[in-house]
Amino acid sequence: MRALVTGAAGFIGSNLVPELLKLGHSVLVLDNFSNSRRQNLPSSPGVTICKGDVTVYDDVVNAVKQSDVVFHMAGQLGNVLSMERPQTNLITNVVGTINLLQACHERNLKQIVFSSSSAIFGETKYIPVDEAHPKDPMSPYGLSKYAAEQYCLILGAEYGLRVACLRYFNVYGVLQHFNPYGNVLPIFAEKVMAGEPLTIYGDGEQTRDFIEVSDIVRANILAMQCEANGVFNIGTGVATTVNQLAKIVIEAADKDVEIKYAPARSGEVQDSVATIAKASKELDFQPSVSINEGVRNYIACFNSTN
Protein backbone atom coordinates (compact mmCIF):
# COMPACT_ATOMS: atom_id res chain seq x y z
CA MET A 1 0.00 0.00 0.00
CA ARG A 2 1.18 3.55 -0.73
CA ALA A 3 0.62 6.12 1.99
CA LEU A 4 0.57 9.84 1.21
CA VAL A 5 2.00 11.91 4.07
CA THR A 6 1.47 15.65 3.71
CA GLY A 7 4.05 17.70 5.58
CA ALA A 8 6.13 14.55 5.88
CA ALA A 9 9.44 16.37 6.37
CA GLY A 10 8.10 18.07 9.48
CA PHE A 11 8.53 16.86 13.03
CA ILE A 12 5.76 14.27 13.31
CA GLY A 13 5.74 13.27 9.65
CA SER A 14 9.46 12.49 9.64
CA ASN A 15 8.91 10.15 12.59
CA LEU A 16 5.93 8.50 10.90
CA VAL A 17 7.58 7.77 7.54
CA PRO A 18 10.19 5.26 8.83
CA GLU A 19 7.52 3.36 10.73
CA LEU A 20 5.35 3.07 7.63
CA LEU A 21 8.35 1.73 5.73
CA LYS A 22 8.96 -0.86 8.47
CA LEU A 23 5.39 -2.06 8.01
CA GLY A 24 6.08 -2.64 4.31
CA HIS A 25 4.25 0.39 2.92
CA SER A 26 5.69 2.79 0.37
CA VAL A 27 5.41 6.51 1.12
CA LEU A 28 4.67 9.50 -1.06
CA VAL A 29 5.78 12.78 0.50
CA LEU A 30 3.93 16.02 -0.25
CA ASP A 31 5.81 18.93 1.30
CA ASN A 32 6.79 22.44 0.25
CA PHE A 33 9.82 22.34 2.62
CA SER A 34 9.11 25.92 3.70
CA ASN A 35 9.29 25.05 7.38
CA SER A 36 10.70 21.53 7.36
CA ARG A 37 13.91 19.70 6.56
CA ARG A 38 14.31 17.33 3.64
CA GLN A 39 17.19 15.62 5.47
CA ASN A 40 14.71 14.45 8.12
CA LEU A 41 13.36 11.95 5.59
CA PRO A 42 15.00 8.55 5.21
CA SER A 43 16.86 7.80 2.01
CA SER A 44 14.91 4.80 0.79
CA PRO A 45 13.56 3.47 -2.52
CA GLY A 46 10.23 3.26 -0.70
CA VAL A 47 10.02 7.05 -0.36
CA THR A 48 8.97 9.27 -3.26
CA ILE A 49 9.20 13.02 -2.76
CA CYS A 50 6.65 15.24 -4.45
CA LYS A 51 7.49 18.86 -3.73
CA GLY A 52 4.24 20.76 -3.59
CA ASP A 53 1.78 22.63 -1.43
CA VAL A 54 -1.57 21.57 0.01
CA THR A 55 -2.93 25.03 -0.84
CA VAL A 56 -2.38 24.30 -4.56
CA TYR A 57 -5.16 22.00 -5.70
CA ASP A 58 -3.28 20.53 -8.67
CA ASP A 59 -0.40 19.54 -6.36
CA VAL A 60 -2.82 17.76 -4.07
CA VAL A 61 -4.63 15.97 -6.90
CA ASN A 62 -1.33 14.75 -8.34
CA ALA A 63 -0.28 13.30 -4.98
CA VAL A 64 -3.62 11.76 -4.04
CA LYS A 65 -4.04 9.94 -7.37
CA GLN A 66 -0.88 7.95 -6.57
CA SER A 67 -1.99 6.97 -3.04
CA ASP A 68 -4.17 4.52 -1.12
CA VAL A 69 -4.36 6.21 2.30
CA VAL A 70 -3.56 9.75 3.49
CA PHE A 71 -1.95 11.07 6.65
CA HIS A 72 -2.63 14.82 6.59
CA MET A 73 0.01 16.57 8.70
CA ALA A 74 0.81 19.68 6.66
CA GLY A 75 -0.13 22.97 8.27
CA GLN A 76 0.96 26.20 9.90
CA LEU A 77 1.72 25.50 13.55
CA GLY A 78 1.65 27.62 16.66
CA ASN A 79 -0.84 29.72 18.58
CA VAL A 80 1.39 32.78 18.76
CA LEU A 81 2.42 32.63 15.08
CA SER A 82 -1.21 32.34 14.03
CA MET A 83 -1.96 35.59 15.85
CA GLU A 84 0.66 37.28 13.69
CA ARG A 85 -0.30 35.55 10.41
CA PRO A 86 -4.01 34.65 10.58
CA GLN A 87 -4.57 34.70 6.82
CA THR A 88 -1.73 32.26 6.15
CA ASN A 89 -3.05 30.09 8.95
CA LEU A 90 -6.53 29.99 7.43
CA ILE A 91 -5.36 29.23 3.89
CA THR A 92 -2.88 26.54 4.88
CA ASN A 93 -4.87 24.74 7.55
CA VAL A 94 -8.42 25.05 6.26
CA VAL A 95 -8.20 25.49 2.48
CA GLY A 96 -5.39 22.91 2.33
CA THR A 97 -7.60 20.40 4.15
CA ILE A 98 -10.58 21.08 1.87
CA ASN A 99 -8.33 20.55 -1.16
CA LEU A 100 -7.29 17.19 0.21
CA LEU A 101 -10.84 16.08 0.97
CA GLN A 102 -12.04 16.99 -2.51
CA ALA A 103 -9.07 15.29 -4.18
CA CYS A 104 -9.67 12.13 -2.16
CA HIS A 105 -13.32 12.16 -3.22
CA GLU A 106 -12.35 12.45 -6.89
CA ARG A 107 -9.87 9.58 -6.49
CA ASN A 108 -12.45 7.52 -4.56
CA LEU A 109 -9.91 7.11 -1.78
CA LYS A 110 -11.53 5.97 1.48
CA GLN A 111 -9.19 6.64 4.44
CA ILE A 112 -7.69 9.85 5.84
CA VAL A 113 -5.94 10.35 9.18
CA PHE A 114 -5.97 14.06 10.03
CA SER A 115 -3.63 15.71 12.53
CA SER A 116 -5.76 17.98 14.69
CA SER A 117 -4.94 19.70 17.98
CA SER A 118 -6.13 20.16 21.54
CA ALA A 119 -5.95 23.91 20.77
CA ILE A 120 -9.53 23.57 19.51
CA PHE A 121 -10.79 23.38 23.09
CA GLY A 122 -9.45 26.72 24.31
CA GLU A 123 -9.57 27.37 28.06
CA THR A 124 -10.77 24.17 29.67
CA LYS A 125 -14.12 24.05 31.45
CA TYR A 126 -13.23 20.78 33.16
CA ILE A 127 -10.28 18.39 33.46
CA PRO A 128 -9.55 15.92 32.00
CA VAL A 129 -10.79 16.98 28.57
CA ASP A 130 -12.92 14.50 26.65
CA GLU A 131 -13.95 14.67 23.00
CA ALA A 132 -17.28 16.30 23.90
CA HIS A 133 -15.65 19.20 25.76
CA PRO A 134 -16.89 22.61 24.48
CA LYS A 135 -14.85 24.03 21.60
CA ASP A 136 -13.73 27.60 22.29
CA PRO A 137 -10.34 28.14 20.57
CA MET A 138 -8.32 31.12 21.75
CA SER A 139 -6.14 31.56 18.65
CA PRO A 140 -6.51 31.43 14.86
CA TYR A 141 -4.50 28.21 14.98
CA GLY A 142 -7.01 26.49 17.25
CA LEU A 143 -9.90 27.89 15.21
CA SER A 144 -8.37 26.69 11.94
CA LYS A 145 -7.89 23.18 13.31
CA TYR A 146 -11.47 23.07 14.54
CA ALA A 147 -12.78 24.34 11.19
CA ALA A 148 -10.65 21.76 9.35
CA GLU A 149 -12.03 19.03 11.62
CA GLN A 150 -15.59 20.07 10.81
CA TYR A 151 -14.87 20.00 7.08
CA CYS A 152 -13.38 16.53 7.55
CA LEU A 153 -16.47 15.26 9.34
CA ILE A 154 -19.05 16.95 7.10
CA LEU A 155 -17.40 16.28 3.75
CA GLY A 156 -16.21 12.89 4.89
CA ALA A 157 -19.79 11.85 5.54
CA GLU A 158 -20.92 13.36 2.25
CA TYR A 159 -18.15 11.72 0.23
CA GLY A 160 -18.09 8.36 2.00
CA LEU A 161 -14.60 8.96 3.42
CA ARG A 162 -13.44 7.53 6.72
CA VAL A 163 -11.67 10.41 8.47
CA ALA A 164 -9.96 9.94 11.84
CA CYS A 165 -9.28 13.34 13.42
CA LEU A 166 -6.55 12.86 16.00
CA ARG A 167 -6.48 15.71 18.51
CA TYR A 168 -2.87 15.81 19.65
CA PHE A 169 -2.05 17.34 22.97
CA ASN A 170 1.52 18.67 23.50
CA VAL A 171 3.77 16.59 21.27
CA TYR A 172 7.55 16.48 21.75
CA GLY A 173 10.45 14.26 20.80
CA VAL A 174 13.22 13.36 18.38
CA LEU A 175 13.52 15.55 15.24
CA GLN A 176 11.61 18.39 16.88
CA HIS A 177 13.74 21.41 16.05
CA PHE A 178 13.99 24.75 17.78
CA ASN A 179 11.40 27.28 16.64
CA PRO A 180 10.61 30.41 18.66
CA TYR A 181 6.91 29.87 17.84
CA GLY A 182 6.97 26.14 18.50
CA ASN A 183 6.67 23.73 21.40
CA VAL A 184 8.23 24.70 24.71
CA LEU A 185 10.59 21.71 25.00
CA PRO A 186 12.95 22.56 22.10
CA ILE A 187 13.00 26.18 23.31
CA PHE A 188 13.97 25.06 26.80
CA ALA A 189 16.53 22.58 25.42
CA GLU A 190 18.14 25.23 23.19
CA LYS A 191 18.56 27.58 26.14
CA VAL A 192 19.71 24.97 28.63
CA MET A 193 22.33 23.47 26.32
CA ALA A 194 23.69 26.98 25.73
CA GLY A 195 23.78 27.61 29.50
CA GLU A 196 21.23 30.41 29.19
CA PRO A 197 18.28 31.16 31.52
CA LEU A 198 14.87 29.64 30.81
CA THR A 199 11.96 32.04 30.40
CA ILE A 200 8.54 30.89 31.56
CA TYR A 201 5.54 32.94 30.51
CA GLY A 202 3.05 33.29 33.34
CA ASP A 203 3.59 31.69 36.73
CA GLY A 204 4.59 28.32 35.30
CA GLU A 205 1.76 26.49 37.02
CA GLN A 206 -0.15 26.08 33.77
CA THR A 207 -0.49 22.40 32.96
CA ARG A 208 0.05 20.50 29.73
CA ASP A 209 -0.34 16.91 28.60
CA PHE A 210 3.05 16.16 27.03
CA ILE A 211 3.07 13.15 24.71
CA GLU A 212 6.17 11.71 23.06
CA VAL A 213 6.18 11.54 19.27
CA SER A 214 6.58 7.76 19.06
CA ASP A 215 3.22 7.45 20.80
CA ILE A 216 1.70 9.89 18.30
CA VAL A 217 3.08 7.82 15.43
CA ARG A 218 1.58 4.67 16.90
CA ALA A 219 -1.82 6.37 17.24
CA ASN A 220 -1.72 7.30 13.54
CA ILE A 221 -0.87 3.77 12.47
CA LEU A 222 -3.57 2.28 14.70
CA ALA A 223 -6.12 4.70 13.23
CA MET A 224 -5.12 3.58 9.74
CA GLN A 225 -5.17 -0.11 10.56
CA CYS A 226 -8.61 -0.09 12.15
CA GLU A 227 -10.03 2.29 9.52
CA ALA A 228 -11.11 4.68 12.28
CA ASN A 229 -13.72 7.35 11.76
CA GLY A 230 -14.47 10.33 14.03
CA VAL A 231 -12.53 12.37 16.58
CA PHE A 232 -10.04 11.08 19.14
CA ASN A 233 -8.00 12.74 21.87
CA ILE A 234 -4.36 11.61 21.73
CA GLY A 235 -2.47 12.39 24.91
CA THR A 236 -1.26 10.65 28.06
CA GLY A 237 -3.83 11.71 30.63
CA VAL A 238 -0.99 13.02 32.82
CA ALA A 239 -0.74 16.74 33.68
CA THR A 240 2.72 18.34 33.91
CA THR A 241 3.26 21.98 34.88
CA VAL A 242 5.66 24.13 32.87
CA ASN A 243 7.66 24.59 36.08
CA GLN A 244 7.98 20.82 36.38
CA LEU A 245 9.02 20.52 32.75
CA ALA A 246 11.73 23.14 33.22
CA LYS A 247 13.18 21.20 36.15
CA ILE A 248 13.06 17.91 34.20
CA VAL A 249 14.93 19.51 31.29
CA ILE A 250 17.58 21.05 33.55
CA GLU A 251 18.10 17.73 35.33
CA ALA A 252 18.26 15.74 32.08
CA ALA A 253 20.83 18.16 30.64
CA ASP A 254 22.79 18.24 33.90
CA LYS A 255 23.05 22.02 33.70
CA ASP A 256 22.69 24.77 36.28
CA VAL A 257 20.66 27.56 34.71
CA GLU A 258 18.32 30.21 36.06
CA ILE A 259 14.55 30.23 35.54
CA LYS A 260 13.01 33.62 34.76
CA TYR A 261 9.37 34.62 34.49
CA ALA A 262 7.64 36.92 32.00
CA PRO A 263 4.00 38.01 31.50
CA ALA A 264 1.64 35.38 30.10
CA ARG A 265 1.12 35.45 26.31
CA SER A 266 -2.23 35.78 24.56
CA GLY A 267 -3.70 32.74 22.85
CA GLU A 268 -2.31 30.24 25.35
CA VAL A 269 -4.56 28.29 27.71
CA GLN A 270 -3.97 27.75 31.42
CA ASP A 271 -4.65 24.03 31.74
CA SER A 272 -4.84 21.12 29.33
CA VAL A 273 -4.88 17.38 29.95
CA ALA A 274 -6.73 14.68 28.04
CA THR A 275 -8.82 11.68 28.78
CA ILE A 276 -8.00 9.06 26.16
CA ALA A 277 -10.73 6.56 26.99
CA LYS A 278 -12.20 6.71 23.47
CA ALA A 279 -8.84 6.19 21.74
CA SER A 280 -8.07 3.37 24.15
CA LYS A 281 -11.36 1.62 23.40
CA GLU A 282 -11.66 2.19 19.65
CA LEU A 283 -8.00 2.38 18.55
CA ASP A 284 -6.47 0.19 21.26
CA PHE A 285 -4.17 3.11 22.00
CA GLN A 286 -2.16 3.51 25.18
CA PRO A 287 0.85 5.84 25.62
CA SER A 288 4.09 4.12 26.55
CA VAL A 289 6.69 6.88 27.16
CA SER A 290 6.74 8.90 30.40
CA ILE A 291 7.69 12.58 30.40
CA ASN A 292 10.93 11.90 32.28
CA GLU A 293 12.02 9.17 29.87
CA GLY A 294 10.97 11.16 26.82
CA VAL A 295 12.81 14.32 27.87
CA ARG A 296 15.97 12.33 28.67
CA ASN A 297 15.86 10.77 25.20
CA TYR A 298 15.27 14.14 23.58
CA ILE A 299 18.11 15.87 25.38
CA ALA A 300 20.46 12.97 24.61
CA CYS A 301 19.99 13.45 20.86
CA PHE A 302 19.39 17.21 20.86
CA ASN A 303 22.81 18.29 19.58
CA SER A 304 22.74 15.82 16.67
CA THR A 305 19.30 16.87 15.41
CA ASN A 306 19.27 20.65 15.95
The residues carrying an active-site annotation are 141
Question: Which residues 6+ apart lie within 8 Å of 272 measured at CB?
Answer: 118, 121, 124, 129, 169, 170, 207, 208, 209
Helices (H), the chain: 11-22, 57-64, 79-84, 86-90, 96-107, 140-159, 184-193, 213-225, 242-253, 277-283, 291-305
Q: What is the signed CA dihedral for 143, 144, 148, 153, rounded to 10 degrees?
A: 0
Amino acid making up residue 287: P
Distance in angstroms (rounded) separating the CA atoms of residues 144 and 51: 24
